[in-house]
Chains A and B, each alone.
Chain A
Amino acid sequence: MSNVLVFIEQRDGKIRKSSLEALTLGNSLSKKSGGALAAVIAGSGIGALAGELGAYGASKVFVADRPELALFSSEGYAAALDAAATAFKPSIVLASATVMGRDVAPRFAARRGVSVLSDVMSLDVANGRITGERPVYSGKARVLVTAAAAAEIQVATPRPNVFPASKAEAPGAGEVVNLDLGALKIRAKVVKVQAAEAGEIDVAEADKIVTGGRGIKGPESWPMLRALCIELGAALGASRAAVDAGWIGHEHQVGQTGKVVSPSLYIACGVSGAIQHLAGMGSSKVIVAINKDPEAPIFKVATYGIVGDLFQIVPAMTEAAKKLKA
């Protein structure tokens, strides 16, 4: 029997979809092992969010609601997770592998003397032990990792956008349990959040990505790619060559020294496909390559390819996508 506790991330009073993915995964693991499911959420003025979580199967929702937790702090949010774990005694703890989850889960794990099954793309439980698959060497290989038999608590961070989020067939009671965290030791805290360019979807979270490489020739080509992004609801990605040339910020970079992504659709425009880039996007479900060089390595991983002039093809794709929607 494995009780499962899931850390829920909220920003501006909204629960992140990736947390619902983790909760859905937690629900299936707890069902499979005959345990209970609980969630923990931290913030300020967030009591109303708890109700949403019962629908995903949570029998209990631990809430740390304090003014000092209004903005994120790894120490404060990890304290909430720790307090919920003390109360609920889970054997499995999950947090989505977002920036916040990657801050909180390893802190909690180190406090409990265990390691983390980090960034898993699959996760299963058998005989009380969790086993998952995760990319290593930036996606050039995959490893099956297992939590040791001796660990009382096992911690995993499932990769966002890989697991489905769906409401439970049998909703949980969602009983709210307020956490008393006592005096908090917060020495690093967010003081300000600046939104990125309006309407931008982050490549790490995106279900579809349109990426520009050296072949787009300069930053003046981004509006052409952005138009396609808007039609498809895609995030804008960039190869290392485009970032290092100063054409766009690093937050757009896909690849071994950028973000490792696995969207359902990845459209590479003018990207040759260096090994570091392929490592970062090779696990995408469907890959489209548009490049004038038929020998470009990107075609080796592509599902569909068009050998030709991207300056003609990309605008035509935007038009075709518009017509498809109409």
Chain B
Amino acid sequence: MNHIVCFAYVPDTETKIRIAADGVSIDEADVKWIVSPYDEYALEEALKTKEAKGGTVTAITFGPARADTGLRECLARGADEAIRVASDGLSEVDSLGVARLLAGVIRTLPHDVVWMGNKGVGTDAQVLVPMLAELLDLPHVNLVTKLEWKDGAVLAHREIEGAEEIVEMSLPGVIGATKGLNEPRYASLKGIMAAKKKAIAVKTPADAGVDPATIAGPAAHVRWTKLELPPARQAVKLIPADDPAKAATELMNLLKNEAKVL
């Protein structure tokens, strides 16, 4: 089976976000970039499936040259091929634009399963899995925590509000992974050394069959117009805890009468 794993290269979850001077993007100075944690579950599951059933794993991302480090990380863990759709010169590409670029490249590759995490931890839009499936004319199942392989299909367990759904999906298809699916491996030293020698294929929007003028800047359907930090919260009101029963009663009274949330 041919596996395609899409990932986002995002600020480390430890990053303290600062707003850039333009007021619509983050200040990238001192930001450490990582493969989005949810995408790591997707990569791990693709690698495990390849190891059990054969096939190839291709990692693909959309981004600037720094994302090559993320692609090398995927190669080091066991991916066979790496593709970067270059974002050079493209500003303000929205989720649909990214989906169109990825879909355009994936269409040119044999693919039985297209994988990614259920969200990138940067823009958090959580729309790429269904969008990519729609553009590739494939079914999808998102938020997958457990997979069973059948002949030409998968049974996927996924979290919904207050319940678990079991979804049967025929292949080819798009699978959105989430936490609980597996424990991502670390790259071995041997893998890291081997990854250094592998080539990264860099593709342009033209390779994806997409005219940049239809996705970037003013052509984006959803534009960020102002980015700001959440408002600062008021200082905490501390309740003395010498007498737990008294403290608890005072807290409940404050929640009811002052905060009015009970």
| Interface positions of A (Cβ within 8 A of B) | 72, 74-75, 78, 97-100, 102-107, 109-111, 113-119, 131, 134-148, 150-151, 154, 186-196, 200-202, 204-205, 208, 232, 249-251, 253, 256-258, 260, 264-265, 275-276, 279, 282-283, 285-289, 299-309, 312-313, 316-317, 319-321, 323-324
Q: How far is the CB of B191 from chain A (nearest CB, A)?
A: 24
**Minimum-distance CB pairs A-B, first 3:** A308-B241, A316-B248, A188-B139
Q: Are B130 and A138 in contact (CB under 8 A)?
A: no
A194 touching B166 in the complex, CB below 8 Å, given contacts A115-B94, A137-B17: yes
Question: Which of these, B17, B24, B140, B220, contacts A148 with CB under 8 Å?
Answer: B220
Q: Are A189 and B163 in contact (CB under 8 A)?
A: no
The distance in angstroms between the C-alpha atoms of A190 and B158, with both chains bound, is: 10
B179 / chain A contacts, CB cutoff of 8 Å? 250, 253, 257-258
Q: How far is the CB of A40 from chain B (nearest CB, A)?
A: 17
Question: Which of these, A116, A189, A192, A302, contacts B236 with CB under 8 Å?
Answer: A302
Q: Are A115 and B95 in contact (CB under 8 A)?
A: yes
CB<8 Å pairs between A and B, sample of 24: A74-B139, A78-B134, A99-B142, A100-B160, A102-B142, A105-B127, A107-B130, A110-B96, A143-B226, A144-B227, A187-B139, A195-B162, A195-B163, A275-B14, A285-B261, A303-B233, A304-B236, A304-B237, A305-B239, A306-B239, A316-B244, A320-B251, A323-B249, A324-B262
Q: Are B159 and A251 in contact (CB under 8 A)?
A: yes
Q: How far is the CB of B137 from chain A (nearest CB, A)?
A: 9
- In the complex, identify which listed stretch (B51-59, B69-77, B81-89, B168-176) lies at the interface while the others stay far away: B168-176
A99 nearest CB neighbor, chain B only: B160
A117 touching B127 in the complex, CB below 8 Å, given contacts A141-B230, A301-B233: no
B125 / chain A contacts, CB cutoff of 8 Å? 116, 118-119
A106 touching B219 in the complex, CB below 8 Å, given contacts A136-B124, A304-B251: no
- In the complex, identify which listed stretch (B60-68, B107-115, B195-203, B252-260) lies at the interface while the others stay far away: B252-260
Q: Are B169 and A187 in contact (CB under 8 A)?
A: yes
Interface residues on B, range: 35 or more
The distance in angstroms between the C-alpha atoms of A145 and B123, with both chains bound, is: 12
A156 nearest CB neighbor, chain B only: B222
A136 touching B227 in the complex, CB below 8 Å, given contacts A98-B161, A188-B173: yes
A208 nearest CB neighbor, chain B only: B261
Q: Are B130 and A320 in contact (CB under 8 A)?
A: no
B239 / chain A contacts, CB cutoff of 8 Å? 304-306
A321 / chain B contacts, CB cutoff of 8 Å? 252, 262
Q: Are A192 and B134 in contact (CB under 8 A)?
A: no
Q: Are A303 and B161 in contact (CB under 8 A)?
A: no
Q: How far is the CB of B136 from chain A (nearest CB, A)?
A: 10
Q: How far is the CB of B99 from chain A (nearest CB, A)?
A: 6
Interface membership of B165, Cβ < 8 A: yes
Q: Are A196 and B162 in contact (CB under 8 A)?
A: yes
Using A110-B99, A201-B162, A319-B245 as known contacts, list a sample of 20 further A-B pairs with CB atoms less than 8 Å apart, ordered by residue number in A.
A74-B133, A78-B130, A99-B142, A113-B96, A114-B96, A118-B125, A147-B221, A188-B140, A253-B179, A256-B13, A257-B179, A265-B259, A288-B251, A305-B238, A312-B244, A313-B248, A317-B251, A320-B245, A324-B253, A324-B256
The distance in angstroms between the C-alpha atoms of A140 and B231, with both chains bound, is: 10
Interface membership of B141, Cβ < 8 A: yes
Indicate with 1 or 0, residue by residue over B213-230, a CB within 8 angstroms of chain A CB atoms: 000001111111111111
B245 / chain A contacts, CB cutoff of 8 Å? 316, 319-320
Q: Are A200 and B162 in contact (CB under 8 A)?
A: yes
The distance in angstroms between the C-alpha atoms of A152 and B110, with both chains bound, is: 34
A275 / chain B contacts, CB cutoff of 8 Å? 13-14, 16
Q: Are B221 and A114 in contact (CB under 8 A)?
A: yes
The distance in angstroms between the C-alpha atoms of A258 and B37, with both chains bound, is: 11
Question: Which of these, A142, A145, A299, A304, contacts B254 with CB under 8 Å?
Answer: A304
A131 / chain B contacts, CB cutoff of 8 Å? 225
A235 nearest CB neighbor, chain B only: B162
Question: Which of these, A102, A147, A250, A309, contacts B244 with CB under 8 Å?
Answer: A309
B163 / chain A contacts, CB cutoff of 8 Å? 193-196
Q: Are B169 and A188 in contact (CB under 8 A)?
A: yes
Q: Are B165 and A193 in contact (CB under 8 A)?
A: yes
Q: Are B170 and A151 in contact (CB under 8 A)?
A: no
A99 touching B161 in the complex, CB below 8 Å, given contacts A137-B26, A146-B225: yes
A106 touching B17 in the complex, CB below 8 Å, given contacts A131-B225, A191-B167, A306-B241: no
> Which of B15, B226, B230 has the most chain A CB atoms closer than 10 A to its own CB?
B230
The distance in angstroms between the C-alpha atoms of A257 and B241, with both chains bound, is: 32
Q: Are A205 and B14 in contact (CB under 8 A)?
A: no
A196 / chain B contacts, CB cutoff of 8 Å? 162-164
Q: Are B123 and A136 in contact (CB under 8 A)?
A: yes
Q: Are A145 and B162 in contact (CB under 8 A)?
A: no
Q: Are B222 and A147 in contact (CB under 8 A)?
A: yes
B11 / chain A contacts, CB cutoff of 8 Å? 137
Q: Are B167 and A299 in contact (CB under 8 A)?
A: no
Q: How far is the CB of A39 from chain B (nearest CB, A)?
A: 20
The distance in angstroms between the C-alpha atoms of A167 and B161, with both chains bound, is: 24
Question: Which of these, A114, A138, A148, contacts B121 with CB under 8 Å?
Answer: A138
Q: Are A276 and B14 in contact (CB under 8 A)?
A: yes
A102 touching B225 in the complex, CB below 8 Å, given contacts A187-B169, A192-B166: no
Q: Are A307 and B230 in contact (CB under 8 A)?
A: no
Interface membership of B122, Cβ < 8 A: yes
